[in-house]
């Protein structure tokens, strides 16, 4: 490989670690025209970012993300920070001619997301690319699900059923981390995990959500204050209680522009459920089911088979001709969560090298943000609410 894609990453916690694994692995797994170089990582804590750089494999580290954008030896900025910082970092990076990978959801507000999508569209006219990190699109079983839908194997889609269930904040003594504060996170379960199933269902069906009817709930209104840790395993500093300002659970009905009706549930209070993302599609000719806790499998019901042969079949998505799998192991050897991020940066590198727009674009991510906004407005009004039209796709 004659050229490098030199990466500067902002943030080094949960998502930073996941992205680092991807950048470290991608060129060992895939033959690409650009070689990823982990040039520098930025974080607020001098000690923390130094330790992260050494552990995760970054050449250098800094406490000033602006210095990454100013460097001539960095081509792409990877944003792995809380949502309240996404817009500022992404806009500065795009203005400086840097490619951008930004974690989901794109921003905390529709206004920020619109500004980011407009900036990305302008940058694209100069060959600068921007992508939002909805990593579950890159699960091979999900990619196969989309292929089967596109090939017409389940016919006209009538029902979409999606849920994302976790339980990591069921303890009332779990502290008030940034994900539970609206000014930092934008929303709670809705934006954190609901955004994933919104994007995923629109991706696999090729249909967009047009109207929603929603409710949200915050079960624990106050939590112990923390000294500032952003991790999911943070502890209280014993200094009192603070208000939870986001939703703990969000549920909504939806209509899609291709005629399908849908149900969505996102909660961090499903006791016993750790990372249970599930999508089911029911069509006129069959059904498909994906469950991330069995991520190497896809269930397929083919209603065109003779009656005695009908029934859900289990497809083990580990064959070399399945999406992404040829880069990894022999048939039957499953892959994991971290591979979704490797596939994500693989697709991003390939698009940049080809001078093409990677997906999901910032315009795609804005559309998800508009759905999140409609869900929030519907929950407040207790009425069916239309999703605002998005920008034209880049």
- Chain segment 29-83, per-residue pLDDT in tens: 999 999 999 999 999 999 999 999 999 999 999 999 999 999 999 999 999 999 9
**Beta carbons of 20 and 56 less than 8 angstroms apart:** yes
Q: How many helices (H) and strands (E) does the chain have?
A: 11, 17
Assess whether pLDDT exceeds 70 at residue 200. yes
Question: pLDDT category, 393, cuts 50, 70, 90?
Answer: very low
Find the helix packing angle between 337-354 and 14-29, rounded to 10°. Answer: 60
Helix H or strand E segment including 351: helix 337-354
Question: pLDDT category, 390, cuts 50, 70, 90?
Answer: confident
Give CA torsion, residues 366, 370, 373, 374, to 10 deg: -170
Assess whether pLDDT exceeds 70 at residue 358. yes
Look at strands 249-256 and 286-291 and give their pairing. Answer: unpaired
**d(Cα 74, Cα 78) in Å, to the nearest integer?**
11
Question: pLDDT category, 229, cuts 50, 70, 90?
Answer: very low
For residue 112 the two structure tokens come to 């920020």
Of 190, 317, 172, nearest in space to 247 by CA: 190
Cβ neighbours for 112, distance < 8 A, ≥ 6 positions apart:
86, 87, 106
Cα distances (angstroms) measured from residue 213 to each of 67, 204, 269, 279, 354: 44, 22, 21, 19, 41
In this prediction the pTM is 0.95
Q: Report helix, strand or coil for 76.
A: strand
Mean pLDDT of 277-286: 98
Contacts 24+ apart (CB under 8 A), 110-116: 110/366, 110/369, 110/370, 110/373, 110/388, 112/86, 112/87, 113/87, 113/362, 113/365, 113/366, 113/369, 113/370, 114/366, 114/391, 115/87, 115/91, 116/86, 116/87, 116/90, 116/91, 116/362, 116/366
- What is the predicted pLDDT for the residue at 226? 82
- What is the predicted pLDDT for the residue at 16? 98
Cβ neighbours for 31, distance < 8 A, ≥ 6 positions apart:
none
Main-chain dihedrals φ then ψ at residue 158, nearest 5 degrees:
-110, -40
Our CA angle for 351, 83, 252, nearest 5°, is 90
**Beta carbons of 123 and 92 less than 8 angstroms apart:** no
- What is the predicted pLDDT for the residue at 234? 58
What percent helix, strand, coil does the chain show, rounded to 5?
A: 35, 25, 35
Percent of the chain predicted with pLDDT > 70: 95
Helix H or strand E segment including 342: helix 337-354
- What is the predicted pLDDT for the residue at 59? 98
Task: Write down the mean pLDDT value for the chain.
Answer: 95
């Amino acid at each position: 490989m004659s050229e490098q894609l030199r990466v500067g990453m902002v943030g080094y916690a949960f998502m930073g670690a996941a992205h680092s694994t991807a950048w470290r692995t991608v060129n060992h797994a895939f033959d690409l025209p650009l070689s990823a170089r982990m040039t520098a990582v930025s974080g607020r804590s001098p000690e923390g970012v130094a330790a992260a750089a050494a552990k995760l494999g970054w050449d250098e580290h800094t406490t000033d993300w602006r210095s990454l954008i100013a460097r001539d030896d960095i081509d792409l900025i990877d944003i792995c920070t809380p949502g309240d910082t996404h817009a500022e970092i992404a806009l500065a990076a795009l203005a400086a001619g840097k490619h951008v990978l930004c974690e989901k959801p794109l921003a905390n507000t529709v206004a920020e997301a619109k500004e980011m999508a407009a900036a990305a569209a302008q940058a694209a006219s100069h060959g600068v690319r921007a992508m939002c990190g909805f990593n579950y699109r890159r699960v091979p079983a999900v990619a196969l699900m989309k292929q089967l839908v596109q090939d017409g194997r389940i016919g006209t889609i009538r029902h979409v059923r999606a849920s994302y269930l976790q339980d990591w904040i069921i303890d009332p003594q779990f502290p008030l981390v940034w994900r539970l504060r609206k000014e930092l996170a934008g929303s709670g379960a809705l934006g954190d995990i609901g955004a994933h199933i919104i994007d995923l269902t629109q991706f696999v069906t090729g249909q967009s959500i047009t109207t929603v009817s929603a409710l949200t709930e915050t079960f624990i209104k106050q939590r112990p204050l923390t000294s500032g840790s952003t991790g999911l395993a943070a502890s209280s500093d014993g200094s009192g209680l603070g208000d939870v300002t986001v939703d703990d659970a969000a549920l909504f009905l939806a209509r899609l522009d291709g005629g399908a009706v849908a149900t969505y549930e996102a909660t961090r209070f499903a006791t016993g459920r750790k990372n249970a993302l599930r999508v089911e599609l029911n069509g006129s000719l069959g059904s498909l089911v994906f469950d991330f806790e069995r991520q190497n499998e896809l269930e397929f019901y083919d209603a065109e088979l003779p009656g005695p042969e009908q029934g859900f079949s289990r497809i083990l998505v580990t064959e070399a001709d399945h999406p992404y799998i040829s880069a990894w192991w022999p048939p039957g050897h499953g892959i994991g969560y971290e591979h979704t991020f490797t596939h994500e940066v693989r697709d991003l590198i390939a698009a940049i090298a080809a001078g093409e727009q990677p997906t999901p674009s910032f315009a795609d991510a804005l559309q998800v943000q508009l759905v999140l906004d409609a869900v929030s407005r519907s929950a407040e009004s207790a009425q069916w609410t239309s999703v605002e039209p998005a920008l034209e796709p880049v």
